[in-house]
Structure 1
Amino acid sequence: MFFYVFKFSIIVICFCRAYEDLSYKKLATQSTTSTGGVYQYVASNAVDRNETTCMRTEPIGPNSPYKSVWWKVDLGGKYNIQNITIQFKSYDGYEMQQRGRFAGFRIYASNTGNINGSALCYEDKSQLPPLYFTTTCTASARYVIFYNDRIDEVTYPEGYEVLHSFPTELCEVIVMGCSALGVYGVDCAVPCPFNCRNNMCDIQNGKCLACEPGWVGDNCTIKCHEGWYGDDCAQQCIGHCRFYFCDHVTGLCDKGCAAGWTGSFCNETCADGRFGMDCFQNCSSHCLNNSLCDKETGHCDIGCEPGYNSENCTKGIKELQRETPPPPPDAALDPLGMGTYTVFRPLAITGCLSNKMMAIKHGSAPDLPYHFTSSPTHPL
């Protein structure tokens, strides 16, 4: 594994642990191409690893129809980027002039090839850039874009070249990172955490650049709090899930719906004639005047048709009577609560107890100290 280091027109090749060169001989394009001279100043010169060949655009500035310039390399896929190095064209004795020309440039990492919506990796501001420039750019991207401008209405910092038009000349643009997906570290050998979105993580420390839906945290190991789901756990469960919780990834009610609701997200009410959890049950056919039942409880809204009298109008009155347990013994007849009761039977008695009432305990003969004969005067 090796990388290239450019400094003062000398190439140093270091055989050591390092990131990989992602831009070498990849497809490069630019806004304009200079037509002057005998050399071909095409965009690919900046990725050929030959610092003596440079790309060059048409001039930008006050005397030019061009006010901005861009150069772009397509890495051929979405990769984890760690740093970007640019070798600007240098002329002996004109270093400050060249630095003033390149001043104000920006570098973007993009997945679309357009600056809009891209990640800004670097923006040169008041200080003039060195002609050998390196910046850290930890991003997951397919394109790297160089951009600069000289807009007539803009006031630029001191040292910027604004009086004369000038071309942009890049001799080498080196994008370093990992060509393999889902890894990080200087050897590009450590797997990214499991729940990183698209299996992409910070190329240096392994932190997920984003999490798969349903997970949060630096390493995406924290499950969404109950009642929330989706990207960054920012979406609230919207339906009427059974037990109030939905799937932390999809938002679906995987444990079913509460009474009165149906659908994958439990956000649809039961159809007429259905009720209960997941709308699984049918309303009774004995609701008064074929009226609807409550979609949660199944109770008939306006009552039952004649002959039916249960909560859901599913049982007739006679059936309910058969199922009704007998009432408890009357306390006045069974004061001891022994499950027996006393009846009074008029008797015709010969002897000293004539015209009296004798209490007979139900289920047993009376234990009386009298000898008598009796005959009922009224049947029980």
Structure 2
Amino acid sequence: MAPALVYLSSDYSKMNAIDNVIANNTDDCGCCSATASNNWWQIDLGKKYLIEEIRVYGRGSACLFGHYGYGCLPEGHCALEYDTAIGACSSCVPGWEGDACNHACAPGEYGPGCTSVCGFCRDGHITCNTHNGHCPNGCSAGYKGDICTTPCDPGEYGPGCILCGQCGDGNTTCNTDNGYCPQGCASGFKGDLCNLPCAPGEFGLNCSSNCGYCHDGNTPCDASNGHCPTGCAAGYKGDFCKTTCDPGNYGLGCTSNCGQCRDGNTTCNIDNGHCPNGCASGFKGETCQTLGSTPGTRR
């Protein structure tokens, strides 16, 4: 039990509580006793009495709920109880601090009693909501979460932690601030963030190589390794279909042999096997592989 509150002013003497005056406007009559929160008052009657009734009259000038002290000052932003005499709060609601919870959090602080520090907000770490710590414009590069205190996971970057592009040494190695890949892009991708696929006809690291002569045109090669999925066009061979047939060969994959050309069997067209100057004596046909005289020549 707290000790009785003692006031030096005679206007608020404890004896006023038993002077049989029931006027209750303190400023006019000076007739009330004064107490503070959780204090008590007692009287010794000197001997035993049979008490029939006890009447307690409140002060007419007492403060309304939500106010305290002399002049009935407004209560601060208390979370729970407050002292009706001095206004002290047992705890503050988020966003406020001080004994009476009447001081707003300073920039960069938030929460009950302003005990938490703002995270990495995009527009500065002093701009978070003083109530819940949320950043009004999102997180700065490299952080995520409601209060922007969680670093990006490997493979993420930038404000809010966007997924990295296709880095040359794995898509978990990009710079968490700007997303750049330290070792360049993986085969088949290009751009500052390595998130752009090669254009048709390109392949390899940073899409810096051109496709060869694929069987179905020069655009469908594999963007990663440059291989033609259906083989090479007639007249070309090799993994990238960029090597022309050896003299004397022609056609798809250079698997056909030239016929008997007038200028020798190494001079046929590498695409279709035609002899540019006709067939040698005794052969005919488009590829000069059929025995017989060419029309219009002597035997």
The structure that is strand-richer by fraction is 1
TM range (shorter): 0.3 to 0.5
Which structure has more RCO (C-alpha within 8 Å, separation ≥ 6)? 1
Higher CA-based Rg: 2
Query: Structure 2 length normalisation: TM-score?
Result: 0.43
